Amino acid sequence: MSALALTTDDVSHFSRCTDIVCSLLPQVLINCRNNKKLLGRVRAFDRHCNMVLENVREMWTEVPKTGKGKKKALPVNKDRFISKMFLRGDSVIIVLRNPK
């Protein structure tokens, strides 16, 4: 049997192993240039810090606009969930592994 010959059992075993390994990957916290933070799991990256992320929680703060002469509004924390995303590397400031 050659080294490249794979059976369907081998392929399904490999895909199960990669699913298990990927589920064990720690979360990372990424600070972006648009003042947003991303908390998620990295599936792939390259030397430019381009990343494919899964199970991402995007967090940011907004200050509501008020009319003239009114009190300044308090900042509001917002977030949203993104199942899969591609992040371009030039928007990354810092990547923190396994934040607690």
What is the residue type of 76? V
Q: Does the reported pTM lie above 0.85?
A: no
**CA 78 from centre of chain:** 16
CATH number listed for the domain at residues 26-97: 2.30.30.100
Give residue 73's pLDDT.
82
For the chain, domain boundaries: 26-97
Give residue 51's pLDDT.
95
Which residues of the chain are under the pLDDT cut of 70?
Answer: 1-24, 100
Rounded CA separation 42/89 (Å): 13
